[in-house]
Amino acid sequence: MTVAFCVGTGRCGTTFITELLGREAEVAASHERLRLAACYHMFTKWHGIPSDAEGFLADREVAVANDLASHGISFEASALLSHSIAELHDRFDAHFLLLTRRPDACVASFAVRGSVSELLGTSQVNMTVWGIDVLISKAFGIGGTARIEPYFGWNVLFINARSGVIDATPTCDAYAQHLLTPNDPAPSGCTAPNAAANNGTWNDLDSNFTFASQDVITRYRWSVGAKLKLSVLFLTVEGDLIQGGTSHDSNADVVDNSGSQESFSLSAGLDF
């Protein structure tokens, strides 16, 4: 029977190694379990506060026993245990793996996402929307107990709207009306004044129209914020700036005069 722990800094690969070892039949692998007790013990060790570690160890002893009841190796990866190595070694005669990463070699998180959507269900307008999101963030530890992660985001959105043929008199059947004579009553769906005068003609088709072609509408959004996390609790503050529009139609008589928009948000919750 073997007990092993993987410790290190935040975002150093503990999640990955847990998933990797979890594929081994003889390994019971877990990631940051019993987090509240781990955070409390880390807090007392970091600040030099005298504390009885028995409660912290007793909970893990039960978890380790459950692992070893069905597996040959109990493995837990958690950066929260980095200050508890001595206690864990004395209790379990455990093996330890230390993971580190160079903070100057990479950004903590860098994400690029693209999206495309198409409006369906109508022939009167064709609209395609596509966009690109870029997010950069980096986490910093605070006193060994909390983590703050500032981030910066940029988003560009393209909206390509194209007019189809729009029927201003959708209830009037132009084909049925052209089959009638001027003396016949107008079809029931043709309610325009003197609608019967169009009997025997295709005049109702003159009610069809299209909007002028429109430039591709663009929207740029800039975001900056920070996420503060303590155990499973988090607090996020964010500010956004959306630039004003500049597009116009093909006749240049309809201009996108939308101004810039600013928004601020504050949220809190639980992140398991």
Going by C-beta distance under 8 Å and a sequence separation of 6 or more, which residues neighbour residue 152? 135, 136, 137, 223, 224
The CATH code of the domain that includes 42 is 3.40.50
**Cβ contacts of 27 within 8 Å, gap of 6 or more:** 21, 71, 72, 73, 75
Closest alpha carbon to 258 in 218, 212, 211, 216: 218
Contact 216, 130 (CB under 8 A): no
The 2-8 sheet, strands edge to edge = 27-31, 73-77, 2-8, 95-99
Q: Residue 253: inside a domain, yes or no?
A: yes
Question: What does DSSP say about strands 95-99 and 2-8: parallel, antiparallel, or unpaired?
Answer: parallel
Please check whether residues 37 and 89 belong to one and the same domain. yes
In the chain, which stretches have pLDDT less than 70? 10, 102-109, 144, 193-194, 249-253, 272
Instruction: Examine residue 68 and state whether it is found in any structural domain, yes or no.
Output: yes
Q: Are residues 117 and 240 in the same domain?
A: yes
Residues 117 and 184 in one domain: no
Residues 20 and 69 placed together within one structural domain of the fold: yes
**27, 99 contact by CB (below 8 A):** no
Q: Are residues 139 and 174 in the same domain?
A: no
Given this model, what pLDDT does residue 130 score? 93
Chosen domain end from 53, 68, 99: 99
Predicted confidence at residue 20, as pLDDT, reads 92
Shared domain check, 157 and 197: no
The neighbouring-strand residues paired with 30 are 76
Query: What pLDDT is recorded for position 138?
Result: 83
> Are 260 and 129 members of one domain?
yes
Reading the block at residue 253, the tokens are: 């008589």
Helix (H) or strand (E) holding 235: strand 233-242
* Spatial separation of the C-alpha atoms in residues 31 and 16, rounded to whole Å: 10
Residues 125 and 70 in one domain: no
Task: Give the Cα separation of 179 and 187 in Å (integer).
Answer: 10
Q: What pLDDT does 97 receive? A: 92
18 phi/psi in degrees, rounded to 5: -65, -45
Domain boundary among 45, 68, 99: 99
Domain boundary among 76, 99, 122: 99
Same domain, residue pair 120 and 250:
yes
Q: Are 168 and 189 in contact (CB under 8 A)?
A: no
> Are residue 90 and residue 134 in the same domain, yes or no?
no
Task: Name the CA dihedral angle for 73, 74, 78, 80, rounded to a multiple of 10 degrees.
Answer: -140
pTM over 0.85: no
Q: Are residues 232 and 114 in the same domain?
A: yes
Residue-number span of the structural domain to which 123 is assigned: 109-163+214-270
Which amino acid would we find at residue 128?
T
Domain assignment present for residue 104? The answer is no
At 104 the pLDDT is: 54
* DSSP SS3 for 28: strand
Q: Compute the C-alpha angle 179/183/184, nearest 5°.
A: 55
How far is 117 from 128, CA to CA, in rounded Å? 6
Count structural domains, the chain.
Answer: 3
In the prediction, which pLDDT does 86 show?
Answer: 92
pLDDT at 250: 64
